[in-house]
Amino acid sequence: MLQSKLFTKTRREAPKDEVAKNAELLVRAGYIHKEMAGVYSYLPLGLMVLKKIENIIREEMNAIGGQEVLMTTLQDPAIWEKTGRWDDKVVDNWFKTKLITGTDLGIANTHEEPLTDLLRGHINSYKDLPLYVYQFQTKFRNELRAKSGIMRAREFLMKDLYSFSRTEAEFKEFYEKCAVAYLKIFERAGIGAITYRTVASGGSFTKGFTDEFQALSSAGEDTIYVDKNRKIAVNKEVYNDETLQKLGLNKTEMVSEKSIEVGNIFPLGTRYSEALNLLFLDETGTKQPVIMGSYGIGLGRLIGTIVETLSDEKGIIWPESVAPFKIHLLSLAQGDGETKSAADNLYKTLTDKKCDVLYDDREARAGEKFNDSDLIGIPVRIVVSDKTVKANRFEMKRRTDTESKLVGIEEILKLA
């Protein structure tokens, strides 16, 4: 893409009320726009990152048998009343609205209830199970405070998968499969090294533990205790001698760290299936409630975590897997001539090879182009200048490197 055509501009400063590093950098680089506290629009570069994250997650959810749907934002209170979750005292972060006729409607903060209700029309027998349904859908949460940028937004895109199983054993088998898929997702998204499967409290759903996936970051709202050798962590909430003993962990090996919850998986048991009457006939002809589980990843939070943990003082550093482009090509040509032709030709060569390139063809000072490139954070920067053209070379630098090097065309084509 030609940068001269990209409508977004980089900015020196973030909005005054923005305190989170992730949103500050993403706004300044033109990835997102702050509509109000906790509400962000995705601009072209941001949407490219979001789509790449979405595709990684989709591939991994399909690989474990997930079937994708798209549920609705508007919610019928009747379904939620059956589980007791319509009440604002039970769920304190609802946004609600009304039909013109005055009827109350919910604005979805999660989708257990409507999906459980929907599946009553499609599940009858044990032969219809197990099944795994997921979606990428916007959630709305009426947060009192929203100061963590895109990491805790009032409106955000979430992948939520729900499992429907016949037995506890079948449920647990999938639960472990999904845990493995989650680690793959975080690995592919570039934060595998800092992300820990973390034992957490079961909350109101289960007496046992549940699992969170926590990425180490000083910007995190959570505290976890990490055994770095065994690559396992325990949430502060349940960090005590009893837990450590159960898990066979040693207090002296555990280090306290701040962290960001980038995903969670947890058993729902039969809480929703019983309340909403999602039953199946087992092999003996007896009606049984379906055993459910829930598996969430917030896409904005994942993007925010990547920015919080991988950026430097100059700007964002995207892993290639989620970067909006693979290569940032900077032309330092002054007007038309040999240098501009060389840059134009390289752009054409790379895009012909289906390589994603952002080509900074703007009439701007070299310093501005270098600063913008560091801020935007595309993994590889290639500079074409009078000097490089004279040497029949290109200047190449990875965003993570401090020094650039002169390389020939064959080196660059290896990237494509």
Q: How far is CA 30 from CA 95, 315, 375, 409, in A?
A: 29, 12, 10, 30
- Between 89 and 98, name the residue whose CB sits nearer to a second copy: 98
Cα(164)–Cα(180) distance, integer angstroms: 18
- Between 4 and 250, name the residue whose CB sits nearer to a second copy: 4
CB of 347 to a second copy, least distance (A): 18
Q: Are 121 and 115 in contact (CB under 8 A)?
A: no
- Between 97 and 245, name the residue whose CB sits nearer to a second copy: 97
CB of 381 to a second copy, least distance (A): 23
Q: At what angle do helices 21-28 and 299-310 cross, to 10 degrees?
A: 90
CB of 98 to a second copy, least distance (A): 8
**108 φ, ψ to 5°?**
-55, 125
- Between 47 and 355, name the residue whose CB sits nearer to a second copy: 47
CB of 314 to a second copy, least distance (A): 22
Cα(383)–Cα(404) distance, integer angstroms: 9
- Between 200 and 292, name the residue whose CB sits nearer to a second copy: 292
CB of 95 to a second copy, least distance (A): 5
Q: Rg of the chain's alpha carbons, rounded to an integer? A: 25
- Name the residues that contact a second copy, by CB under 8 A: 5-9, 11, 30, 33, 35-36, 39-44, 46-47, 50, 65, 67-76, 93, 95-101, 105, 107, 114, 118-119, 121-123, 128, 131, 133, 138, 140, 142-144, 154-155
CB of 384 to a second copy, least distance (A): 22
Cα(328)–Cα(262) distance, integer angstroms: 28
Residue 235: its H or E element: strand 232-235
Q: Are 397 and 327 in contact (CB under 8 A)?
A: no
Amino acid at 279: L
Cα(402)–Cα(384) distance, integer angstroms: 18
- Between 38 and 220, name the residue whose CB sits nearer to a second copy: 38
Q: What angle (nearest 5°) sits at the alpha carbon of residue 260, between those of residues 256 and 264?
A: 110
- Between 100 and 169, name the residue whose CB sits nearer to a second copy: 100
CB of 255 to a second copy, least distance (A): 36
To which residue do tokens 């090509």 refer? 329
